[in-house]
Structure 1
Amino acid sequence: MRGHKNTILLALVATLIAKEAFAAQHVVGGSQGWDQSTNFKSWTSGQTFKVGDKLVFKYSPLHSVVELGSESDYKNCDISTPLQSLSTGNDVVKLDKPGTRYFTCGTLGHCSQGMKVKITTMKGNAPSSRLSPSLSPLLSPLLSPSLSLPPPSSSSPTTSTLASSASQWFISFVFIATLSVSVTISLS
């Protein structure tokens, strides 16, 4: 009986780790990062944001990240009542629920010059980032039909995001395979 309780506990831990591994990290602005020269509307059009994903804001000391509470504040660049203000230059924001969040730079004039981004997070726990065409044939047979890979798009994420997603997927796969063998042995 004790072995079955341990197996159930291991399965729960594996599920939590796999869910975290499937979360994507989106470097806001891609290779340009959180900067005035970045076209954030174009960048977001090539992304899918899901619950559990993380936004990574990378920027110089000239900038900051201010989360705004409403679309009105976002449209009017009103930073007088922020939900949070970040200034490390490498900030990570977890997308923990579905909905829309609004971010801008707190430096005077940067918001009105376009340094702001609206992120709409969807429900779901499937991988958010697409894998490169070269990885798809290798991994597709291992995935269930419900997790099949979408076709590559012309606005795919950067190579570093693809590599990160692929390695996260591989780590999850190896961990779950190892857990399956462990469970099989414990039930024998």
Structure 2
Amino acid sequence: MALINSKYFFTSLIILVALFGVGVEGTVHKVGDSSGWTMMGVDYQAWASSRTFQVGDSLLFEYNNEFHDVTEVTPHDFELCDQSNPLAKYQTGSDTVTLTKPGFQHFICGVPGHCDIGQKLDILIFPASLGPVAAPVPGPARSPSSSMSPSPSPFADSPTNAPQFQMGPSPL
């Protein structure tokens, strides 16, 4: 019996790997494209609005670190271009920031005056997408007195105590 259960475990594992992928990396967005992170010639609001950012993606900031930095700030400090209380500060000239949670993230250049003339970026990060395939979700509990017949299992010869799944709506 243990051999049969392990067979279904590994079959289920293979199906889950196929649905979710393993080690799938998100998109790398080079901030400002070929211009990079600079205070001249890039409209970062327009740049960001032409892209979709998701959890797992990353931002690549490339810039001359003798003249610029990347400072992550709160929404309030973003509006004021205030770099005095950074959430994070990057100064290498080639910094990758991985987007780890949905919501807004705000970046400015912390060099005085640069943010004020437009070297600032705010982005909206969406939850990671599973694409056209929905995530498996546990099915509803069935009562023994239910008049509905159970839905067929994707594994016709699976034990009756095996977990059953149904496809649910996409998380987006």
- Bin the TM-score by the shorter chain: 0.5 to 0.7
Q: Does 1:81 align with 2:76?
A: no
- CA separation in 1, counterparts of 2:57 and 2:121? 16
1:65 partner amino acid: V
Measured against aligned partners, the alpha-carbon deviations of 1:87-119 in whole angstroms (never above 9, x if no partner) come to: 111111111111111101111211112100011
User: Which residue number in structure 1 is paired with residue 143 of structure 2?
Assistant: none
Measured against aligned partners, the alpha-carbon deviations of 1:35-60 in whole angstroms (never above 9, x if no partner) come to: 11221112112111112211111111
1:109 partner amino acid: G
User: Which residue number in structure 2 is paired with residue 141 of structure 1?
Assistant: none
User: Which residue number in structure 1 is paired with residue 150 of structure 2?
Assistant: none
User: Which residue number in structure 2 is paired with residue 42 of structure 1?
Assistant: 46
1:68 partner amino acid: V
Aligned residue pairs, count: 126
- CA separation in 1, counterparts of 2:60 and 2:14? 31
- CA separation in 2, counterparts of 1:6 and 1:101? 39
Q: Which has the higher contact order (CA 8 A, sep 6+)?
A: 1
1:96 partner amino acid: T
- CA separation in 2, counterparts of 1:110 and 1:12? 47
- CA separation in 2, counterparts of 1:101 and 1:120? 7
Could you state the TM-score of these two structures normalised by the residue count of structure 2?
0.64
Could you state the TM-score of these two structures normalised by the residue count of structure 1?
0.59
TM-aligned CA distance change 1:45 to 1:12, over 3 Å: same
Q: CA RMSD in A?
A: 2.2
Q: Of 102, 105, 111, which aligns to 1:107?
A: 111
SS state of the match for residue 17, structure 1? coil
User: Which residue number in structure 2 is paired with residue 31 of structure 1?
Assistant: 34
- CA separation in 1, counterparts of 2:54 and 2:13? 26
Once the 2 structures are TM-superposed, how far is the Cα of residue 5 of structure 1 from its aligned partner?
Answer: 3.9
Once the 2 structures are TM-superposed, how far is the Cα of residue 67 of structure 1 from its aligned partner?
Answer: 0.2
1:84 partner amino acid: A
- CA separation in 1, counterparts of 2:53 and 2:59? 9
User: Which residue number in structure 1 is paired with residue 142 of structure 2?
Assistant: none
Q: Which runs of 5+ in 1 are unaligned?
A: 128-145, 148-188
User: Which residue number in structure 1 is paired with residue 60 of structure 2?
Assistant: 56
Identity, in percent, stands at: 37
Measured against aligned partners, the alpha-carbon deviations of 1:114-157 in whole angstroms (never above 9, x if no partner) come to: 10001111224157xxxxxxxxxxxxxxxxxx38xxxxxxxxxx
- Structure with the higher fraction of residues in helix conformation: 1
Structure whose CA Rg is larger: 2
2:104 partner amino acid: T
- Structure with the higher fraction of residues in strand conformation: 2
Q: Which runs of 5+ in 2 are unaligned?
A: 134-172
Measured against aligned partners, the alpha-carbon deviations of 1:152-183 in whole angstroms (never above 9, x if no partner) come to: xxxxxxxxxxxxxxxxxxxxxxxxxxxxxxxx
User: Which residue number in structure 1 is paired with residue 122 of structure 2?
Assistant: 118
1:64 partner amino acid: D
